[in-house]
Amino acid sequence: MSETTIRTDDQLATFINVIDVDPAKQEELIAVLNEGTEKVISQKPGFVSVNIIASKDGKRVINYAQWRSPADVQALLSDPEAQAFAKRVAELGTPGPGLYAVNAIHHA
């Protein structure tokens, strides 16, 4: 049986970017995402966490990031340093970014 936590008042902003990538470039894309997270993203106000997830077939990378507020995400998106890394990501794959709210978490 799993435990479910319903989060209707979650104040965190969840930014998810599903990036389609040529399997030959997946590792390079992951390296760019890790570099950007370590050097730029994690230093910005409101940063909570980043998870970088790679598909086993090599065709996608998911960047799952959480921020204190949607305003923090918007500030990041307009930041020149972050935009430089976003450009490098777009050169390696096709990003599909979006802002989300976590509604439920299920635990074993």
Write out pLDDT tens, residues 67-102.
999 999 999 999 999 999 999 999 999 999 999 988
Helices (H) and strands (E) in the chain, counts: 3, 7
Is this structure's pTM higher than 0.75? yes
**Domain residue spans in the chain?**
3-107
- Residue 11 CB-half CA count within 13 A: 6
CATH of 3-107, one of 2.40.10.480, 3.30.70.100, 3.40.50.150, 2.60.120.260: 3.30.70.100
Distance of CA 31 to the CA centre of its chain: 14
CA distance 16 to 52: 10
pLDDT tens digits, one per residue of 2-20: 554 444 445 789 999 999 9
- Both tokens of 70, joined, read 């949607």
CA separation, residue 77 to residues 27, 44, 72 (Å):
24, 11, 9
